[in-house]
A and B are shown apart, each in its own frame.
Chain A
Amino acid sequence: MRRIRYREALREALREEMQRDPRVFVIGEDVGRYGGAYAVTQGLLQEFGPKRIIDAPMSEAIIVGAALGAAVVGGRPVAEIMYIDFATLAMDQIVNQAAKLHGMFGGQLKAPLVIRTQQGTGRGAGPQHSQSLEAWFAHVPGLKVVMPATPYDAKGLLKSAIRDDNPVMFIEHKGLYALEGEVPEDEYTVPIGVADVKRPGNNVTLIAYSNMVHTALAAAQELSQIGISAEVVDVRTLAPLDMDTLIASVTKTRRAVVIHEASVFGGFGAEIAASLQERLFDILAAPVRRLGGLHVPLPAHSQLEKQVVPGVTQVVQVVKEMIGAEVAVRSTSA
Chain B
Amino acid sequence: MEDRDTLVNLYYTMVLIRRTEEKILELLLQGKLASSMCHVSIGQEAVATGVCSAMQPQDYLTSTHRGHGHIIARGGDLRRIIAELLGRETGYCKGRGGSMHLVDVQLGHLGSNGIVGGHIGIATGAALWSSLQNDGRVTVAFFGEGAMTEGIFHEAANMAALWRLPIVFVCENNQYAMSLPWTHATAEHSFARKGEAYGMPGIEVDGQDVLAVRQVALQAIERARRGEGPTLIGAQTYRFLGHSRGDPSPYRDKEEEARQRARDPIRLYQEHLFREGIMTQADVDALEAKVAEVIADAVRFAEESPPATLDSVLEDVFA
Contact = CB atoms under 8 A, between A and B. Distances in A.
Nearest to A58: B146
Nearest to A31: B179
Interface residues of B, number: 39
A254 interface: no
A266 to B, nearest CB: 14
Contact of A304 (B96, B99, B177, B180): B96
Given A34-B179, A57-B186, A89-B151, A124 B35 contact: yes
A191 B98 CA distance: 41
Given A57-B149, A85-B115, A129-B37, A299 B178 contact: no
A58 B35 contact: no
A7 to B, nearest CB: 15
B87 interface: yes
Interface string B112-126: 011111100000000
B8 interface: no
Interface in B80-139: 87, 95-101, 113-118
Contacts of A29: 177-178, 180
A332 interface: no
Contacts of A58: 116-117, 146-147, 149-150, 177, 180, 185
Interface stretch (A142-150, A194-202, A207-215, A289-297): A289-297
A61 to B, nearest CB: 5
Interface string A52-67: 0001011111100000
Contacts of B100: 126, 128, 300
Contact of A302 (B35, B149, B178): B35
B272 to A, nearest CB: 35
A23 interface: no
DSSP majority for the A interface? loop
A300 B146 contact: no
A57 B183 CA distance: 10
Contact of B310 (A37, A297, A308): A308
B246 to A, nearest CB: 11
Nearest to A82: B178
A44 B96 CA distance: 37
A30 interface: yes
Nearest to A55: B180
A303 B34 contact: yes
B101 A300 contact: yes
A128 B113 contact: yes
A60 B153 CA distance: 13
A252 to B, nearest CB: 37
Interface string A116-154: 000000011111110000000000000000000000000
Given A58-B180, A124-B36, A301-B96, A296 B150 contact: no
Given A57-B185, A58-B185, A123 B37 contact: yes
A33 interface: yes
Nearest to B177: A58
B313 interface: yes
B73 interface: no
Interface in A2-35: 29-30, 32-34
A217 B262 CA distance: 55
A60 B98 CA distance: 25
A48 interface: no
Contacts of B147: 58
Interface residues of A, number: 35
Contacts of B184: 55, 57
Contact of A301 (B34, B114, B118): B34
Contacts of A317: none
A314 interface: no
Contacts of A126: 35, 37, 97-98, 100-101, 114
Nearest to B244: A37
A271 to B, nearest CB: 23
Nearest to A35: B179
A303 B37 contact: no
Nearest to B249: A34
Contact of B251 (A33, A86, A301, A303): A33
Nearest to A297: B317
A307 interface: yes
Contacts of A30: 178-180
Contacts of B115: 85-86, 89, 128
Most chain-A CB neighbours within 10 Å: which of B34, B113, B152, B313?
Answer: B313
5 contacts: A57-B180, A59-B150, A126-B98, A126-B101, A304-B34
Interface of B: 34-37, 87, 95-101, 113-118, 146-147, 149-152, 177-180, 184-186, 251, 307-310, 313-314, 317
Interface of A: 29-30, 32-34, 37, 55, 57-62, 85-86, 89, 123-129, 294-297, 299-304, 307-308
Given A301-B98, A304-B87, 12 more contacts: A30-B180, A32-B179, A57-B186, A58-B146, A89-B115, A123-B36, A124-B35, A127-B97, A129-B37, A297-B313, A300-B97, A301-B35
